[in-house]
Structure 1
Amino acid sequence: MRGLLAIAAAAGLVVLSQVPTAATTQDARYSAVVRWTEFGIPHVLAADFGGLGYGYGHAFARDNLCSLEQSLLTVSGGRSAVFGPDADAGDALSPMPVKNLDSDIYHRAIADDQRITQLIAQPAPLGPTQDVRQLVSGYVAGVNRFLHDTGVANLSDPACRAKPWVRPITELDVYRLAYAFVQFGGTGAVKPLIANAAPGTTAPPPALPESASAGSNAIAVGSAGTKAGNGVLLANPHFPWAGDARFYQVQLTIPGKMDVSGGSLYGSPLVGMGHTRHLAWSHTVSTAQRFTMFQLSLTPGDPTTYLVDGKPEAMTRKEITVPVGGQSTVTRVLYSSRYGPLVASNWTATSALAFKGANTGNVRALNEWLEMGQANSVAQLRSAQERYQGVPFLNTVAVDSAGVAYTADASVVPHVTDEHAARCVNSPLGKALYPAQTVLDGSASACAWGSDPDAIEPGIFGPRATPSLTRRDFTTNSNDSLWLTNPAAPLTYPRIYGDVATARTLRTRLGLDQITGRLQGTDGLGPAKFDLNSMQRLFYGDRNHSAEQARDAVVALCRTEPLPASACAALAGWDLRADPDSRGAVLWREFWLRAVKTPGLWTVPFDPARPATTPNTLNTAGVRQALVASVQRMTDLGLPFDAPLSAAQRTEIGGTPLPVPGCTGEEGCYNVVGSLPTGPLGADGRFPPVTFGASFVMATELTATGPRTATLLTYSQSTDPTSPHHNDQTRLFARKQWVSERYTPGEISSSRQLRVDVITGG
């Protein structure tokens, strides 16, 4: 403890308060200094990983204990008993609705087979490293310390105050939360299908997207693209604003060992995207498939036995019981094969589908993110990724102070080569679904996943197969495949990673256009090339690329139709931005969400030789009805055609409705905000409230004297409505402002709102 206070004193900190503890200073197992700066951002300082977790857990619980406790209900399979079996489970990352009962069945099946317990019992690299174990142990102790000192009856957040389901957390809980997150895009994406599987469930498989609804933008600019010859990064993850997938901003420091600042997912004791002194990184959602299905050939007369190489194998049968309130329970029988669980789709008398996810053995992602938080170069980050191979469903975009820019899909991907798919996708169902989904022949053992000699575990691609690009100008991704991460160096890879030489989304095209304009200095943001200021301005440019491509054609169409002149004038006078005061943006979105469904939307098709500018030229005849219907809709609602965007686009996250900038991905916006799914104007004359989009935004320049960073947590730090940090950054977002990050001890100590807590305990 004295050593930690000495570290704090050396950092120029004056301890303003000390959280009391029953332990003596000499007996304290954990010690941390938590420095609070503007907007409730904690900077945790400790001498070891146990103390670091302790300080972070205590700080996070103060802001978000109720959210954490609800997440624990989910991963322990206890939602039905508290909230009822038929209520929405609030699974923000799932591409399909999930009821509490289905969620509970899924999570209890994992708990009953002790899968996570077995995974964390392994030694590193497959199991947690000692540093991760100590961090998790301290984090749990810190959360429980806050809960013990405060008391359930005295919690400030009414969402869980005095609730019987609030309890101390365990280390297993933290690993369960991490495991649930890495299953996104894998087994977690099909919870209802796994939970309801039974012979005779013959519905067709759902049209699952290759990557589910979350997404992101990221830009890494290297020495050839920056004014100072260093590195600049933009992190712009598009994640839900409510539920389990929110970010919390934190700095975690062990002097001489780690000093990382960035965004941490709720319930995670480490930073998932952020920066160190010489490295900055972010993630985007990868297009690679996280799972395949295997079509089983069933033995005649027995729908729970299947054939492999002509020999019968019995499915594993497991009963799962879930409390649903009072003394009532529900029991279901789940079936599994050598490939994985059966799903509630196409289970006939002769055939069934089994589901195999690539991340079912993955808790090592924690190791990788903790080591990335200690890296100070792209080379060190890549080393961590090759050692642990644990990033679950994400691309990585990074840059270092030497000006090396890097993008890779270093995620966990089933080892299915194009040759493998050509040989084993051989059924009518498989051929109908491929390549969007991969259904392999489960009757042949030769169709099981392959492997690479450098892979950390069988069945996945190893690091040498990873699509990656290192450049000195830039790399970028906006959720398309990595084919065009830099147009000067297109990438190729197996089809299971994503498509190649196909049309890019309007958001990807806008990102490339913005980067090109900045490198050439033709974007109106000052002299050519990037620095921190120009990256900030790029993000808040709020350009609407669909309108940039098609607005003039729509105005010309409008003027030839018997439509109100004021509607045509509103579009003609629009600034093509998604600022709160942009007039014409409401009518455009109402039109575009209809128009984008038009077959043959563009008359000039995609050209692989011009991937950033094609397709183009709007098919005005095809979108005529969309324009007429949109004008009529606004007329019926009594909305002026030139109503500002703020009249229709607001968020209610944080309690007070606030207009926010940005627009939908469908419109080709970079600063994505909206709802899931995206919706048109409602009866109240507004779009559905913003609950998704830009979340933890970070612009970082890695200068010779250290990082200069601007951040924004769009929905703010705390889910507690009584907290002063419940919507303070949301108000900044509404005004298109930033938070100037405090990273060095001097910057932290100079905060006018500085509060320093010393937290010790056992």
Structure 2
Amino acid sequence: MKLRPIVIVLALLAPAVAAAPATAAGGSYSATIRRTEYGIPHITAKDYDGLGFGYGYAFAQDNLCTLASWVVTLRGERSRYFGPKAESDDPVRPVSNLASDVYHKSVAGSGVVRRLLARPAPVGPSDELRRLVDGYVAGYNRYLEDTGVANLPDPTCRGRAWVGPITATDMWNNLLDLDRMTSSSSFKDAITGIAEPEDEAGGPPEDKRAQPKPAAGSNAWALGRQATRGGGGMVLADPHFPWQGIRRFYQVQLTIPGVLDVSGGSLYGTPVVQIGHNAKVAWTHTVSHAQHFTVYRLELAGGHSYLVDGRAEPMGEQEVEVTLPDGTVSGHTLLTSRYGPVLAVGQTDEAAYALADANAANLRAADEWLAMARADSLDELRAAQRTYQGMPFVHTLATDVSGTAYFADTSLVPHVSDAQAKRCAASSPGPSPVPGLDAYVLDGSTSACLWGRDGDAVVPGVFGPGNQPRLARADYVANSNNTYWMTNPAKPLTGYPKAYGETGTDLEPRPRVGLDMIAQRLSGADGLGAPGFTLETLQATVRGKRNLTFELMRDDLLRLCRTHRSSSGSGADVRDACRTLGKWDGRATLDGAGAVLWREFFTRLGRPAKPGDPVFSPWRVPFDPARPLTTPRGLKIDDPGVRQALADAALFFRSNRIPLTLTPGQAQSYSSIPIPGCTEGEGCFDRVRTGGPLGTDGRYPEVNTGSSFMMAVELTEDGPRTRTVLTYSLSANPASPHHTDQTALFSRGGWVTERFTPAEIAADPHLGTVTVHGRS
């Protein structure tokens, strides 16, 4: 039904809204949007309908084009508007538009969203979430109707035929796709079997898997009363999500007086806060490396059928049609099984493979985040997680005013015991059908290899809360995408199913540097004053730009430099390179002269000297599971490959007339703004990732992943104290004043002082307020 015209009321400060229960308002919508520094919206309404309406309206003002493009993706219409061979707008794992369209049309055609919407909570969405979604859609559409496609402020989609109203179905599909982000949605090409197109010269496609792609990661700390100077809880949120597209964070505060008051980072196109805090509780997430899907090997029985317990079972067939730019239709047939979609890759005359995804029918995450936002204590947050069990692929780290630090991997993990994994894998020979797919490959010919069930699990087939790794402490818990094992080195976690990850394995440099940063702050050895965390020392700690691999290898490198001037293989003089690295302080700051040279040297370590040579480890002291915080370490300077790597790096700089003192501020940027930091492999905490290697001009391609929504929050009896920075800024619109303003702040190491209470918001000299109304 068409909405009535909107009413916008301008004011210095919106009138107070009385507390009211979260009930529908007879089909009408009303919300107040206050914007503070950097355009950050604070949205207040008397009910969930109005809150969603205000949020959808505010988001459309800043980022309509990004969501409009993604809706085209979710509907499987990219080929029609952008051509089948162009790359899709998926920021995590882009594929051709045709592969994207076939996949998304197959999801829509499966009816999974329709079936979930027909279920009551917690399996289906709650009434509150449904109203948020409906309101969000109405608010977005109202802004679009008021503005008009031809008058949109963002030139990216102004006047484009593919821009139009959105529906609640689009938003539910987006929430489902978010939950599938690291599982089914990452294997569109394997599911559809649609290869990358040939290049214009007719040659083979470019190997996109060999190029760096944005990958989700994160750092997270929850600090308890024994680790903080004030005795309350503190949280550091540092998610590493893509800097482009639909998986960006939007900073927002959502308030229904007396019902909900939450502030933090909300992923585009979702009406809830994923990482944030209220007055008493704060939480964040990191991507878990637990298994969230398995692969089943199907023993084929002729035709489109496979054997289960000795009986032939037919595969399902799904017909998918994609409209092309000329109006013709491209038809595709996808096969399905009892386990999930049958992969179009890896098939032989004897076997095929099916993908079984624990998040295949998961819409519960949004309700879980909404319930967490209403929690008044850590106990209530944990109860919300037990109720919905919807976290798709992330760990949770949280704390409250009492100062208890909490970690759990509550993500959806297939119920495959260690014994079952061993037994079922033994009867299913052969490697994983998809290169790089890290999952159990189980025997699909016997029902004995079906996923099990826990009595405390909301849905069958996954581990319930009683089997999930978790830890609560008074000092701290931390994670940087390592497994649960070293959440706190004083209390290593062990004994959980291997589907959650291995223990006793190399932590890798980034998790190690994070734990060392905490240890130094708690002992006062970091030069930041008395031991223990304050909000200010937390900010300083996480923006220190330490490069752990350089710290661990520096002494050996300088010893190598004293004895080695050139490599006999290349003849490159390394004396100037050694002098540069000897002067560098090991910090990847904007002016870190030596940081880029180290990166180029370090990334060459371990590379075979010539094709066919084995990869070598550059570490002098190998990893020892008994000493996970201090090994591996040192540089193996007697290995010819190490000397060759140093010579090759020096030669690259000299041959291309790039100064050896090239700094991160000179070499890497986003929207022409210099970006500090270094990479995952180097052991950098707030890492960056660029779109490719260093060019001969001394520049990396634009930064595309890294610290995204950084939040440092201290919970006190007087309310939260919070500092944030949205690294790529609030708006993707290049014409917006908030397109790069926080990026410039991030570049120079600054933070935004969050305004949370009505008094703090009212005191902002930049405050702008609108009240928006609409009726269905």
Q: Same fold (TM over 0.5)?
A: yes
Q: Among 94, 115, 120, which residue is 2:117 paired with?
A: 120
Q: Distance in 2 between matches of 1:726 and 1:632?
A: 39
Name the residue aligned to 2:364. Answer: 364
Task: Show CA shifts across 1:315-366 (max 9, x none).
Answer: 1111100012121221111001111111122211111111110001100111
What is the alpha-carbon distance in structure 1 between the residues aligned to residue 460 and residue 269 of structure 2?
A: 29
Deviates more, 1:169-178 or 1:564-573: 564-573
Q: Report the secondary structure of 1:385's partner residue.
A: helix
Q: Which residue of 1 aligns with 2:663?
A: 644
Tell me what 1:429 maps to: 430
Query: Which consecutive segments of 4 or more residues in structure 1 shift more than 3 A?
Result: 206-209, 430-436
**Cα distance in 2, alignment partners of residues 484 and 435 from structure 1:** 25
Residues in 2 aligned to 1:721 and 1:178: alpha-carbon distance in whole angstroms: 26
Q: CA deviation at 1:90?
A: 2.5
The DSSP-based 3-state class of the residue aligned with 2:406 is: strand
Whether the 8 Å CA contact 1:295–1:440 is kept in 2: the answer is yes
Please, which moves more after superposition, 578-587 or 435-444?
435-444
Q: Look up the match of 1:189.
A: 186
- Contact in 2 for aligned 1:425/1:431 (Cα 8 Å): no
The answer (yes or no) to whether the contact 2:409–2:468 under 8 Å persists in 1 is yes
Contact persistence 1:180–1:188 (CA under 8 A): yes
Match of 1:538 in 2: 541
Aligned twin of 1:106: 103
The aligned counterpart of 1:335 is 335
Given that residues 658 and 697 in structure 2 are in contact (C-alpha distance below 8 angstroms), is that contact kept between their aligned partners in structure 1? no
Matched, 1:140 2:143: no
CA shift in 2, pair 1:367/1:27, >3 Å: closer
* 619-628 vs 59-68, greater mean Cα deviation: 619-628
Asked if structure 2 preserves the Cα contact closer than 8 Å seen for 1:261 and 1:276, the reply is yes
Asked whether the 8 Å contact 2:227–2:522 carries over to 1, the reply is yes
Could you tell which deviates more after superposition, 103-112 or 338-347? 338-347
Deviations 1:187-231 (A, max 9, x none): 111011111189xxxxxxx9999x992100001110011001101
Alignment of 1:578-593 (within 5 A): 578-593=588-603
Distance 2:269 2:651 in 1: 47
Tell me, in whole angstroms, the C-alpha distance in 2 between the residues paired with 1:596 and 1:249. 41
* Other-structure match for 1:761: 774
Q: What RMSD over aligned residues (CA atoms) do the two structures have, in Å? A: 2.2
Secondary structure in 2 aligned to 1:716?
A: coil
Deviation at residue 661 of structure 1 after TM alignment: 1.3
> Which of 511, 527, 530 is residue 527 of structure 1 equivalent to?
530
Asked whether the equivalents of residues 197 and 334 of structure 1 are also in contact (C-alpha less than 8 Å), the reply is no
Q: Quick one: which of 552, 561, 566 aligns to 2:565?
A: 561
Match of 2:610 in 1: none
Closer, same or farther: CA 405–485 of 1 in aligned 2, 3 Å = same
Map of 1:35 onto structure 2: 34
Q: Secondary structure at the match of 2:300?
A: strand
How many Å apart are 1:721 and its aligned residue? 1.2
* Superposed displacement of residue 420, structure 1: 0.8
Look up the equivalent residue of 2:457 and give its one-letter code.
A
Deviations 1:501-531 (A, max 9, x none): 1110100000010000001111111110011
The CA distance in 2 between the partners of 1:158 and 1:431, in whole Å, is 44
CA distance in 2, matches of 1:142, 1:267: 12
Corresponding residue SS for 1:753: coil
Aligned match for 1:703, one of 716, 736, 740:
716
Q: How far apart are 1:110 and its partner, in Å?
A: 1.0
Q: 1:175 aligns to what?
A: 172
Q: Is the 8 A contact 2:689 2:704 kept in 1?
A: yes
Match of 1:468 among 470, 490, 504: 470
Query: What SS does the aligned partner of 1:429 have?
Result: coil
Q: Partner residue of 2:622?
A: 605
Partners of 1:408 and 1:609 in 2: CA distance: 24
- Whichever residue aligns with residue 188 of structure 1, its letter is S
Measured in 1, the distance between the counterparts of 2:391 and 2:606 equals 33
Could you tell me how far apart the structure 2 residues matched to 1:431 and 1:180 are?
24
Among 574, 599, 619, the alignment partner of 2:584 is 574
Q: Distance in 1 between matches of 2:768 and 2:436?
A: 56
Long gaps (5+) in structure 1: 1-7, 17-25, 199-205
**Which of 213, 228, 238 is matched with 2:240 structurally?**
238
Is the 1:128–1:364 Cα contact (8 Å) retained in structure 2? yes
- What displacement does 1:651 show? 1.6
Alignment-derived partner of residue 18 in structure 2: none
Equivalence for 2:21: none
Contact kept in structure 2, 1:58 and 1:145, CA below 8 Å: yes
Residue aligning to 1:716: 729
Does the 8 Å CA contact 1:251/1:259 hold for their aligned counterparts? yes
Q: Deviations over 1:146-171 (max 9, x none)?
A: 01111111101111111111111111
In structure 1, the residue matched to 2:307 is: 307
Query: Which deviates more from structure 2 when the two are superposed, residues 272-281 or residues 552-561?
Result: 552-561
Out of 680, 689, 692, the residue aligned to residue 674 of structure 1 is: 689
Name the counterpart of 1:280.
282
Supply the AA of the counterpart residue of 1:80. S
Aligned equivalent of 2:612: none
Residue number in structure 2 paired with 1:91: 90
Decide whether the 8 Å contact of 2:73 with 2:89 is kept in 1: no
Pair 366,662 (structure 1): closer, same or farther in 2 beyond 3 Å = same
Please tell me whether the aligned partners of residues 28 and 760 of structure 1 are also in contact (alpha carbons under 8 angstroms): no
Describe the shift of the 1:435–1:715 C-alpha distance in structure 2 as closer, same or farther (beyond 3 A). Answer: closer
Q: Does the 8 A contact of 1:278 with 1:702 survive in 2?
A: yes
What residue number does 2:675 align with?
660
* Cα distance between partner residues in 1 of 2:684 and 2:269: 30
Q: Is the 8 A contact 2:214 2:241 kept in 1?
A: no
Structure-2 separation of matches of 1:470 and 1:13: 44
Size of the aligned set, in residue pairs, is 727
Q: 1:596 to 1:54 in 2, by over 3 A?
A: farther
CA shift at 1:92, angstroms? 1.5
Residue in 1 that maps onto 2:127: 130
Q: Residue 711 of structure 2 aligns to a residue in which SS? A: strand
Assess if the C-alpha contact under 8 Å between 1:197 and 1:342 holds in 2. Answer: no
Q: Output the TM-score relative to the length of structure 2.
A: 0.91
Q: How many Å apart are 1:698 and its aligned residue?
A: 0.2
Q: Is the 8 A contact 1:196 1:344 kept in 2?
A: yes
CA distance in 2, matches of 1:53, 1:15: 18
CA contact (8 A) 2:98 2:194 kept: no
User: Using the alignment, how far apart are the partners of 1:523 and 1:743 within structure 2?
Assistant: 31
3-state SS of the aligned residue for 1:216?
strand
The 1-side partners of 2:179 and 2:263 are apart by 22
1:6-59 Cα deviation digits (max 9, x unpaired) = xx99xx97249xxxxxxxxx9870111111100000000111111111111100
With structure 1 as the length reference, what TM-score do the two structures score? Answer: 0.93
1:633 aligns with one of 652, 661, 665: 652
Residue of structure 1 equivalent to 2:64: 65
Tell which deviates more after alignment, 64-73 or 107-116: 107-116
Structure 1 position 257 matched with structure 2 position 287: no
Change (3 A) 1:175 1:413: same
Distance 1:405 1:111 in 2: 40
1: CA distance between counterparts of 2:667 and 2:687? 16
Q: Distance in 1 between matches of 2:209 and 2:309?
A: 30
Aligned partners of 1:741 and 1:534: how far apart in 2? 17
Check the 8 A contact 1:593/1:680 in 2, yes or no.
no
* Structure 2 unaligned residues grouped into runs of 5+: 1-8, 16-24, 196-207, 567-572, 608-614
Aligned residue for 1:558, secondary structure, equals: helix
Matched-pair contact (CA < 8 Å) for 1:701–1:709: yes
Q: What SS class does the counterpart of residue 217 from structure 1 fall into?
A: strand
Partners of 2:404 and 2:583 in 1: CA distance: 42
* Superposed displacement of residue 565, structure 1: 2.5
| 3-state SS of 2:60 partner | helix
Whether contact under 8 Å (1:430, 1:438) holds in the other structure is: no
Alpha-carbon displacement from aligned partner over 1:565-589 (angstroms, at most 9, x marks no partner): 2211100000100100011111101
Deviation at 1:740, TM superposition (A): 0.5
In 2: Cα distance, 1:484 partner to 1:523 partner = 21
Cα distance in 1 between the residues matched to 2:393 and 2:214: 10
Matching residue of 1:728: 741
Shift of 1:435: 10
